[in-house]
Structure 1
């Protein structure tokens, strides 16, 4: 069982969620449990669908070839995201406290400006965040990792990271971790891909 990959996928898929939570917390914006749960469920669904597709492909291949293809896909996704992140750091004006990407997404999510993310507002946010789960899930599924366990891991870490980010937003948002959460997520994907290549 690829327990390391299951846990690592859950963490990597949700570092963006942590960044969003930090941005919400720094702006005193609340995400009720129902809204947070909806975001987690959307991420779980995206992960399960993508990993099931990747898992189906893996059954057509030998386990070693499946691991090789899945690992390479995950590494390429991490490298692509890392390149895009570094490019944004070099060329884009950054928010004073947090990455512009997270700050902008956080502001757009609270459409009525009441500093509370309703379940309706969490739908669009959840769809945006679940895209990351689709990409990484496809590669992990091709490696033969359990779609159900990985989806549960993504859902649990989604709930935890959004809540943790909001609770610690005003402090962590100004730290290096808050600014580089996206970069760390990409690096973790590369580590997961390398791990899948050698197991």
Structure 2
């Protein structure tokens, strides 16, 4: 059960990496191995720091409420993803434009920081919910790397138009499932 929770967290927290990879792939921008490795490293650091913060906050919260609070945070973040997705669909807003033809170090670091933002709130919640630090950090970093790579590869194919628009609600549903799994399990 514990491993399932860790990998649900890692997948949900990093599904946005898949979307970013798709958007770069559609524009024929290849994300190089070193750039992807740097991005995964930044995600790893951000997840680690957020989980350490969550562990610190956990000491201030009664033990019986820690898991519930963390699960609740993950549930709320999942619901927020769904609300944002449906709000944008109602406005007819397209996804963000990516205009880079070559990813330099600065662009790679900025992308890594942007992809880490999602992991911060989830990392705090996962730590409070009781997920282990090192396994969660490593799983999150691995998912970031793999999802960015897979999205970039798939983005160069015809499937990108089908999958790309649904990654955010899928991520939201996965976070809600993780929150419920932790809350009820």
1:93 equivalent in structure 2? 93
Question: Taking structure 1 as the reference length, what is the TM-score of the superposition?
Answer: 0.87
1:196 equivalent in structure 2? 182
1:21 equivalent in structure 2? 21
Gaps of 5+ in 1: 95-99
The answer as to 2:171 corresponding to 1:171 is no
1:31 is paired with a residue whose SS is coil
The answer as to 2:8 corresponding to 1:8 is yes
Gaps of 5+ in 2: none
The counterpart of 1:124, out of the listed 110, 118, 127, is 110
1:171 is paired with a residue whose SS is coil
The answer as to 2:133 corresponding to 1:147 is yes
| Cα RMSD, aligned residues only | 1.5
Alpha-carbon deviations, 1:23-65, whole Å to 9, x = none? 1111110111111111111111111111111122224445432
Aligned length in residues: 184
Alpha-carbon deviations, 1:103-160, whole Å to 9, x = none? x2x32xx2xxxx2322321111111110000011111110111122111111101111
1:32 equivalent in structure 2? 32
